[in-house]
Structure 1
Amino acid sequence: MRFQTICSIFLLLFCQSLSAQTLIKGTITGSKNLPLNGASITLTGTYYGATSGNGGQFSFSSPDTGHFELTVTLIGYKKSVREVRLTGEPLNIDIILKEEISEMQAVTVSAGSFEAGNQKRNTVLNSLDIVTMAGKPADVVAALQTLPGAQQVGETEGLFVRGGTGAETKVFIDGMLVTNPFYSSVPDISQRGRFSPLLFKGTHFSSGGYSAQYGQAMSSALTLQTHDLPSRSETNMIISSPQLSFTRQQLAKNEKSSIGFSINYNNLTPYFAAVPQKPFYTKAPEIINGEFFGRWKTTKGMFKYYGYATHNTIAFHKPSLEDEKAFDYFSLKGENIFTILTYSGKINDSWKINYGGGFSYNKDRIDIRTASPDSSFSSFYPRLTNYTTQARLVFTRTLGGLSKLHFGTESQLIIDKIHAEDSIPYVRRQDNFIAAFAESDIYITGRFLAKPGARVEYSSLLGKANISPRLSFAWKLNNAGQISLAYGIYYQKPETTYLLRKPLLDYSRASHYIFNYERIAKGRTIRAELFYKQYHNLVRFPANNPMQLTNDGAGYAKGFELFWRDKKLFKGFDYWISYSWLDTKRQFLDYPSKVQPTFAANHTANVVAKQFVESITTSFSITYTYATGRPYYDPNLSEKSFLSSRTMDYHSLSCMVNYLTVIGKANTVFMVNVSNVLGNSQVYGYHFASKPSAGGMYRGEPITPMAKRFIFIGAFISIGNDRRKEILDL
């Protein structure tokens, strides 16, 4: 009897429990009404819930009653929270989840933009690609010349992009302008950049349509980001045919700060003694520089300091075209200082701040003369000095998701001086330059991004202001492919050499229009880009009066570019191919009409290939570059034929071998890098005498490299940090 009573009570309680259960069911779908499986559905504060099946459907029961929150989560989608009331009656709930944008998944504007780093989703080049590229011995700009849009110009320094001069590309480090990014100019010899690529964690090369946060570059902006705190203390050394280098970085015990320094000495005297050069050097290039860098991590951000100082000398002479017995003599002594202090960090969860200040100094002592044993034909001894003081402040406001608003201001105090004995009196130009800018990243959806912006600038030297609108869009077609559009107006002050002659000039202006398709998937990258640029207010002067400067020049550039990279063809093998077609004409400087400029080739192609052989810990790299001939001026032709002559096509095949090993406690990479292995003849242009000979013809000679090949042999030694792995990871 007692047993029957207990069973009856248990059965009654069980039935009451069943009657109190609330059935909750429904369907989980995405924004396009497609069912989503694998979503987690839970009643907050209880143990009850379910997971959606293949059709997005779910179903579970709860004995609880009252008000609860029904939470739905799924990776890649925003969390959904809905209030429900459980009464015992069945609930049918359909929920639509919205995609959650992450930085790795989100669409980004790729029009005119190349990333070179280790952390960006749309990285095209890895940082170590720059160091290990054949024929480009650890030179950032030389490595970027293998990308579409960049021209192969070997007779002068600079990054020549899409029909623009080298001066139309500006370089920024941690957001701060670098006034003199290259060693001082030498006639007919391209100078390398001052800074080692190992300083930088990321490189952003824009061949057009760049951000409103930067300005004063009509063609291109190259922005470099220095490393944060090192992972450990380390010592690095480079011992090579032209260079000795020692670098030390010390990480604090709390791993929140670091300091470091670097000393570099370059002297090409031994190399030039072994490999004859053209011209004849009375003083081979000699460079000594020192660097100091510091990092301090705070609770909300990081301070970075970078300081650089260098002294360089060079002197040479070569036969003159003006007289068969005369020589052209050139010598230069240069000094440069560059220093910046920056901070980047959070104010709170919604606001971020970046600010910095910097100072740079550059002085060149140049001696130029043409003389024979019997007489002196001409001489010019300019002394040029530049001081640049700058400050920059940028705020970033999160608008929700990944959408952001950037706005800020920058100022520069620029002082230029020139003096030359017996020819140029003391001239000083000062410019107080200020700018303000605003730009937004507006994610309309996870697949569609709008990036409007504007920039306002004022120059006290010109006495003029300008407004530069910028606008770009990106649309993600699928998980790997996207298209981008970019438009912008870009202003630039005339070069210093012209402002020293006449300060009251106007800004030059370029309008950019860009269409881009990019796909990055499974270790392969393809990019195709169309562009059009229109130039206005370029500097001009008559051929017989270089002091009569105006802004009457104009021009255009249009073209198509293609880039392909494949890291998955074979194990350890990586290659990329780039091609650029360029159609450009401009009337500027002393050009009598609108013609293709001397620095522009119609067709340029690059092939870079790398193979790492793990069994012998050795990497092999080749770089092949081709460019059609460029225009040059021949005074023996009529004015109607101005710049109608062409140099021979450019060919260069370069090779590099890196052997990785350990010597004692030192991780070591032995390197051999040979440019133009086949010894192809290369002509960058021609020089002609200023007066015709007795026969009525102007004497001329080609502008060629200093030697057929350049051979770099060296070793990179690292103690405390195995950087060999970075090469393994390429």
Structure 2
Amino acid sequence: MEKVQSLCRIVCTCAALFIFAVAQTGTATGVVTDAETAEPLVGANVILLETQWGAATDLRGEFSITGLQTGTYVLEASMIGYESVRQNVFIEHNDTSTIDFQLTVTVLSQPDVVVSAERLIEKTSVSAQSMDRPKLLKVHGVLEDPVRSVLAMPGFSSGGEFATWLCVRGGSPNENLWLLDWVPVYWPYHFGGMKSVFNTEMIEHLELYSGGFPPKYGDKLSSVINITSREGSHERTQGKGLVSLINALALVEGPLTPRGSYIVSVRRSYYDLVLGAEPNTTIPSFYDMQTRLSYELAQEHDLYFSTLISGENARVEFEDPAPGQPGSIEDYYFVTSSSAEWNWLVTPKLYSMCAIIFQSANLQMEMNQWWLHTRVYEPGIREDLTWEMTHTHTLKTGFELRAPIVDWESFIPLNAADVGTWADTTLQGSRRAIKDDLYLGGMYVQDSWDITPRLSTNFGVRYDNNSLTKRASISPRASFRFDVDVVTALRAAHGYYYQIQEIHEMAENSNLDAKLARHYILGFERMVTPDVRSWIEVYYKDYEQLPTVDTNGHYTNEGYGYARGIEFFVQKKGEPLSGWVSYSLSWAQRKEYLDDSVNWFDYDQRHIVSATIDYSFADSWYLGLQWRFATGKPYTPIILGIRDTLGNWRPVNGEKNSERLSDFHRLDVSLNKEFSWLGMKPVVFIKLLNAYNRKNLIGYTYSFGADGTPIPEPYYGISIIPAIGFSVEF
């Protein structure tokens, strides 16, 4: 308690000193607009060249820089795609000087130059990263998957060598919130996780939170991946075609009306078309389609219509199945996510975003007489309201309401191991997992406040409830940032995060409370040079009310666990060389069974190192390198085999997650060459997956000796895979 009181006294004293200092200084304010259209420019940077202090313009194109000592300064306004403008300004204490800027669009003399800028994220964001499409196109890896870029960030690991399941800071894959244009995407993968459903060509920007995310995000414990689709071209009809390692892509975009635009992309894998059906071999296929329509009703009103359609099919036929074994296995799913979004600038200081969303999913699994059909339908609505009270004070509030309907049907023959043959008697049923009137609702309020020029905060609270348990979850959250100087900052965050239990767990026990995780984060950030950024973060995350399974197979809320670690990150921007290096050191343990002790979590990995390097050289050549190292995940060994009454071996497990796989490391290389031909932009690329042919251990299969001694047989991941492909823009 004394430490807390001392800390409060220090913070209050610092705040008082800053407030006093500001009172003796002046302020520079103004508006940045487009010189031709007079439209305000949002996100433009205004910098005091002598001090490196500055600000970004808000929704009205306005900026404010406070705490300036008396004197003459040079202000520079800049924005990607515009020519920079400088003006002199004299600042007096206790006075406000107004300086307006009109920026002119840059005319590029070289047609192959791509102009881009990374999107600004909230100033007080902790454990946050942001990437825009040009950057994603460089680092999305051999499989052209934007999630591969996410895996290179500190705190993010995958569920397997060839999988994009994200495990964040000791969490499981189902603890991550995936948003596409504000629509939750519950299964964002193809091929069981090998590739995501997201198309890099359709992304405007991607935001990542590996912890400490603000109250506007709910019902997840670990992370947020927020993806915004880009608008189609308003100038002309254009497109792109691509053929790569596992799929082909076609994209078309252009103006829809003088005030609207469209963009449509379609992808499909082609292995099943090339190889055809082979006995005893699974050849899965996937497809997806993404669209986005935009229309400006008026200067203050914009409409967006977005759709993602995703499907997959996998079938294997066995040439000579044994008696009682299936002759074929088929797995099929079809998922849609749609939204209609209305953005309204109510007043110059009040902004509304309202979205009506709808999702559906259909999963079918069939194996001879056995089958399982699952269907999900979920309509919903979301409203977010932003009120910029002052240049340094913004209030946000909003709500969301979803009404999922989930049901399944199954037809299950009696197990042949129990009766000796496949019997006509069946266990079958049609049931709803949860009641028809289920709803999930949440609301939040958060306040972003620059208390002084150096001290800023974001604090708020979130309320969640559902009609099944009728138990409310209240989640207070806060984050802080203190600028030690113009290149150094300290960051901190703390918050409560709840997540409703999984559907199959709620179906068995509808009284389960929501899972809880508490985040504690401290960070240090420094700009080493103008183009080199570095930061360190330490975190602790404790879990409560996790689902556990008792000896009778019933779910309870008695599980708990923790995750802790430290992360290092260094990033270089600019040309021709850019990239980043990250290192994570972490520990994660959980108790998941009532009759079990606390064990290492399935996704616990002690050390993870990632390096991403991009290099542009010669005439339109580009080289990309991605290297990753990770220590082995834990696994449960089989220590003995016992024969059952039918003479089959039944494995006996050892202590849960008491052994570890060997270390993993892999290098992926891509080399691109751009051309210009008949007004088009062809690109030829060569890629190497696992370039130095590392044999990474994935796991073990077991056979047994005559005395029941287990004989483990290791199986490995992919060997080196070369690939060549091409794309063309027209």
- Normalising by structure 1, we get a TM-score of 0.76
Letter in 2 for 1:400: T
Q: Which residue of 1 aligns with 2:146?
A: 140
Measure, in 1, the Cα distance between the counterparts of 2:279 and 2:630: 28
Q: Which residue of 2 aligns with 1:488?
A: 495
Tell me whether 646-655 or 384-393 shows the greater mean CA deviation.
384-393
Q: How far is 1:284 from its partner? A: 1.5
Unaligned runs of 5+ in 1: 1-29, 41-53, 55-73, 81-92, 118-126, 370-378, 720-730
Q: Which residue of 1 aligns with 2:130?
A: 115
Instruction: Say yes or no: does 1:611 pair with 2:601.
Output: no
Letter in 2 for 1:564: V
- Matched-pair contact (CA < 8 Å) for 1:76–1:100: no
- Matched-pair contact (CA < 8 Å) for 1:106–1:446: no
- Matched-pair contact (CA < 8 Å) for 1:427–1:500: no
Q: What per-residue deviation string (whole Å, max 9, x for no partner) do you get for residues 666-708 of structure 1?
A: 112222222211111122334558xx76522346544643x32
Q: How far is 1:328 from its partner? A: 10
- Matched-pair contact (CA < 8 Å) for 2:442–2:463: yes
Q: SS state of the match for residue 130, structure 1? A: helix
Moved over 3 A (4+): 30-40, 74-80, 93-107, 269-273, 279-283, 316-320, 322-330, 637-641, 684-689, 697-705, 709-712
Q: Which residue of 1 aligns with 2:137?
A: 131
- Matched-pair contact (CA < 8 Å) for 1:587–1:595: yes
- Matched-pair contact (CA < 8 Å) for 1:76–1:99: no
Letter in 2 for 1:604: I
Q: Which residue of 2 aligns with 1:351?
A: 350
- Matched-pair contact (CA < 8 Å) for 1:100–1:446: no
Residue 567 of structure 2: which of 561, 575, 599 is its match? 561
Letter in 1 for 2:248: L
Letter in 1 for 2:487: A
Task: Check 1:163–1:39 CA distance in 2 against 1; reply closer, same or farther (3 A cut).
Answer: closer
Q: Which residue of 2 aligns with 1:717?
A: 728
Q: How far is 1:251 from its partner? A: 1.3
Q: How far is 1:214 from its partner? A: 1.0
Q: Which residue of 2 aligns with 1:662?
A: 676
Q: SS state of the match for residue 505, structure 1? A: coil
Q: How far is 1:242 from its partner? A: 2.6
Measure, in 2, the Cα distance between the counterparts of 1:518 and 1:414: 42
Q: Which residue of 2 aligns with 1:695?
A: 707
Q: SS state of the match for residue 142, structure 1? A: helix
Matches within 5 A, 1:544-583: 545-546=552-553, 548-567=554-573, 572-583=576-587
Q: How far is 1:506 from its partner? A: 1.4
Q: Which residue of 1 aligns with 2:359?
A: 360
Q: Which residue of 1 aligns with 2:108?
A: none
How big is the alpha-carbon RMSD for the aligned residues of Structure 1 and Structure 2? 3.7
Instruction: Say yes or no: does 1:400 pair with 2:399.
Output: no
Measure, in 2, the Cα distance between the counterparts of 1:522 and 1:583: 34
Q: How far is 1:499 from its partner? A: 2.6
Q: How far is 1:599 from its partner? A: 1.6
Matches within 5 A, 1:285-300: 285-297=284-296, 298-300=298-300
Measure, in 1, the Cα distance between the counterparts of 2:388 and 2:464: 26
Q: What per-residue deviation string (whole Å, max 9, x for no partner) do you get for residues 156-182 of structure 1?
A: 552110000000001012223223322
Measure, in 2, the Cα distance between the counterparts of 1:351 and 1:649: 52
- Matched-pair contact (CA < 8 Å) for 2:610–2:628: yes
Task: Check 1:101–1:268 CA distance in 2 against 1; reply closer, same or farther (3 A cut).
Answer: farther
- Normalising by structure 2, we get a TM-score of 0.76
Q: What per-residue deviation string (whole Å, max 9, x for no partner) do you get for residues 10-58 of structure 1?
A: xxxxxxxxxxxxxxxxxxxx94699999999xxxxxxxxxxxxx9xxxx
Q: SS state of the match for residue 347, structure 2? A: coil
Tell me whether 311-320 or 505-514 shows the greater mean CA deviation.
311-320
Q: How far is 1:264 from its partner? A: 2.2
Q: How far is 1:333 from its partner? A: 1.3
Q: Which residue of 2 aligns with 1:410?
A: 400
- Matched-pair contact (CA < 8 Å) for 1:412–1:433: yes
Measure, in 2, the Cα distance between the counterparts of 1:32 and 1:356: 41
- Matched-pair contact (CA < 8 Å) for 1:647–1:683: yes
- Matched-pair contact (CA < 8 Å) for 1:99–1:446: no
Q: What per-residue deviation string (whole Å, max 9, x for no partner) do you get for residues 225-275 of structure 1?
A: 222453533211112343222211121463x211232232212236779xx
- Matched-pair contact (CA < 8 Å) for 2:499–2:514: yes
Q: SS state of the match for residue 314, structure 2? A: strand
Task: Check 1:105–1:283 CA distance in 2 against 1; reply closer, same or farther (3 A cut).
Answer: closer
Matches within 5 A, 1:107-256: 108-117=123-132, 127-133=133-139, 135-154=141-160, 157-183=164-190, 186=192, 190-228=193-231, 230-233=233-236, 234-252=238-256, 254=258, 256=259
Q: How far is 1:492 from its partner? A: 0.5
Letter in 1 for 2:466: S
Measure, in 2, the Cα distance between the counterparts of 1:616 and 1:475: 44
Measure, in 1, the Cα distance between the counterparts of 2:687 and 2:97: 49
Measure, in 1, the Cα distance between the counterparts of 2:683 and 2:364: 38
Tell me whether 228-237 or 506-515 shows the greater mean CA deviation.
228-237
Letter in 1 for 2:568: L
Measure, in 2, the Cα distance between the counterparts of 1:687 and 1:700: 6
Q: What per-residue deviation string (whole Å, max 9, x for no partner) do you get for residues 56-104 of structure 1?
A: xxxxxxxxxxxxxxxxxx9945999xxxxxxxxxxxx973357999999
Matches within 5 A, 1:179-578: 179-183=186-190, 186=192, 190-228=193-231, 230-233=233-236, 234-252=238-256, 254=258, 256-269=259-272, 282-297=281-296, 298-316=298-316, 330-368=329-367, 380-422=370-412, 423=427, 425-428=429-432, 429-430=434-435, 431-520=438-527, 521-542=529-550, 545-546=552-553, 548-567=554-573, 572-578=576-582
Task: Check 1:712–1:367 CA distance in 2 against 1; reply closer, same or farther (3 A cut).
Answer: farther
Letter in 1 for 2:508: R
Measure, in 1, the Cα distance between the counterparts of 2:534 and 2:219: 30
Q: What per-residue deviation string (whole Å, max 9, x for no partner) do you get for residues 522-552 of structure 1?
A: 111101100000000111114x643x11111
Q: Which residue of 1 aligns with 2:656?
A: 642
Q: Which residue of 2 aligns with 1:587?
A: 591
- Matched-pair contact (CA < 8 Å) for 1:304–1:343: yes
Tell me whether 311-320 or 486-495 shows the greater mean CA deviation.
311-320
Identity %, equivalent residues: 19
- Matched-pair contact (CA < 8 Å) for 2:143–2:245: no
Letter in 1 for 2:339: I
Count of aligned pairs = 611
Instruction: Say yes or no: does 1:95 pair with 2:93.
Output: yes
Measure, in 1, the Cα distance between the counterparts of 2:409 and 2:568: 47
Q: Which residue of 2 aligns with 1:728?
A: none
Measure, in 2, the Cα distance between the counterparts of 1:711 and 1:590: 48
Tell me whether 634-643 or 502-511 shows the greater mean CA deviation.
634-643
Task: Check 1:106–1:285 CA distance in 2 against 1; reply closer, same or farther (3 A cut).
Answer: closer
Letter in 1 for 2:546: L
Q: SS state of the match for residue 560, structure 1? A: strand
- Matched-pair contact (CA < 8 Å) for 1:31–1:96: no
Measure, in 1, the Cα distance between the counterparts of 2:144 and 2:165: 16
Measure, in 2, the Cα distance between the counterparts of 1:194 and 1:105: 25
Q: Which has the higher contact order (CA 8 A, sep 6+)?
A: 1
Measure, in 2, the Cα distance between the counterparts of 1:645 and 1:221: 31
Task: Check 1:703–1:294 CA distance in 2 against 1; reply closer, same or farther (3 A cut).
Answer: farther
Q: How far is 1:454 from its partner? A: 0.5
Unaligned runs of 5+ in 2: 1-19, 31-49, 51-62, 70-90, 101-117, 413-426, 641-651
Q: How far is 1:380 from its partner? A: 4.9
Tell me whether 635-644 or 573-582 shows the greater mean CA deviation.
635-644
Measure, in 1, the Cα distance between the counterparts of 2:352 and 2:66: 29
Q: How far is 1:393 from its partner? A: 0.7
Letter in 2 for 1:112: S
Measure, in 2, the Cα distance between the counterparts of 1:523 and 1:281: 54
